[in-house]
Amino acid sequence: MHAIEKIMAKAAGKDHVSTGEIVMAKIDFAEINDLYLQTVYSFREMEGTTVWDKDKVAFVFDHYAPASTMKAAQIHKEMRAFAREQNLTHHFDINAGVCHQVMPEAGLIYPGMILLATDSHTTTHGAFGALGTGIGATDMATVLMTGKLWMRVPEVIEIRITGNPSRSVMPKDVILHVLGKIKADGAVYKAIEFTGDYVETLDVPGRMVLCNMAVEMGAKTAYMQPNDKVLAYLKERVKTPFEVVHSDPDFEYAESYHFDVEGLHPQVARPASVDNVFLLTSDEKIKVDQCFVGTCTGGRLEDLKAAADVLRGKKIAHDVRLLVIPASSEVMEEAIKEGYLTDLMQAGATISTPGCGPCLGAHEGVIAPGEVCVTASNRNFPGRMGSPLGDLYLASPRAVAASALTGYLTNPDDLEEV
């Protein structure tokens, strides 16, 4: 069996599971973000009274943090009341950040666990050797009541990444390159394991980026075998005993893909699909109105550093907005200590509250009709960050900063020539 299958088998109390099998799995942790007050309503409608384990449930207010409308404020109010009523041990309010960042920081994610959350990018937690996947409100209400949920054992495909990309390339460029080949429907309801010497060299943030965007290929979950950097991160934070799960040596993947990223240059996903990926070039002179560094894909300390390194001592183009939103309050504090936020502010950036921000088109920087935004986030379909008549380009934090500097979609490799 694959490690993912072993995790599911253990959760189902079985010795063995196989592809396509439906199992009833015990869940190790459940997280609900502030898009999903419906979970509470469904819990009541299903005559739920008490959550199955108050230590294994958390609310995270990140999509509307802080509340931008009266409706959002009401959502937060009702969810806070439920958290108090259920005496939840873990609650992350508007001062915390994005769920996929704050939960690992809080030591709630560890190898071998099953994490379910009301967010599709829960695949992120495969970076820690966990099985993470997103579910809807009714399924989550079932989990809150029982601590269990049915799951279908997915096919497991391998994406092996080898080689050393060029100097300006970040993990975001690599996963965009992969997406451009596999396409948005290339792994529907499959599990993706990322392997290869490039993956082995990645630290925690880079691994999270790759797993985060596995769902953009349709994947139900993602997985990486934890390396020493991951285990060191977990040792500092996780209090729950855990065991790293390993696949059997004779396991055969349903499909295997090999990507040699030797010498790969910065990539960009053009409007209006995440798999519409091309080599990032500065030649077309595509004028940008807004540049965004942030979210569960591009708002970690390493991302802010990359942007600050590009902009330190410089000024962004006079008619461009650069929005920077750290992924969590911990990231923000570290970025302040390191001086990254000062560098970015002095360059002309606007710094906002840790959270999802404009990534889902809710607030803190949505775009108007006809505007162009280059963003370090994860989706670029029409209307994702505001007006459906705007254009979104997905790129790395380094490329976003380079574009803010010139006012045009820019390959950071070209800055010395600008």
The string of pLDDT tens digits covering residues 112-171 is: 999 999 999 999 999 999 999 999 999 999 999 999 999 999 999 999 999 999 999 999
Domain 3-258 identical in fold to domain 271-411: yes
CATH class of the domain whose range is 3-258: alpha beta
The pair of structure tokens assigned to 256 is 């295997």
Residues with Cβ within 8 Å of residue 386, at least 6 apart in sequence: 358, 361, 366, 367, 368, 371
Reading across the β-sheet that carries 57-60, which strands appear in turn?
A: 90-92, 57-60, 29-33, 114-117, 131-134
Q: Which sequence spans correspond to the domains of the chain?
A: 3-258, 271-411
- The whole-angstrom separation of Cα 185 and Cα 219 is 9
Average pLDDT over residues 54-71: 97
Model pLDDT, residue 269: 98
Model pLDDT, residue 111: 98
Q: Of how many residues is the chain composed?
A: 418
Residues with Cβ within 8 Å of residue 238, at least 6 apart in sequence: 107, 108, 109, 110
Q: pTM surpassing 0.85?
A: yes
The string of pLDDT tens digits covering residues 249-266 is: 999 999 999 999 999 999
Q: Which residues make beta-bridge pairs with 97?
A: 328
Per-residue pLDDT at 192 exceeds 70: yes
Whether residue 119 contacts residue 139, with contact meaning beta carbons closer than 8 Å, is answered with no
The string of pLDDT tens digits covering residues 52-62 is: 999 999 999 99
Per-residue pLDDT at 418 exceeds 50: no
Model pLDDT, residue 416: 67
Over the chain, what is the mean pLDDT? 97
Model pLDDT, residue 262: 98
Per-residue pLDDT at 40 exceeds 90: yes
The string of pLDDT tens digits covering residues 313-356 is: 999 999 999 999 999 999 999 999 999 999 999 999 999 999 99
Query: Which superfamily is assigned to 271-411 in CATH?
Result: Aconitase, domain 3 (3.30.499.10)
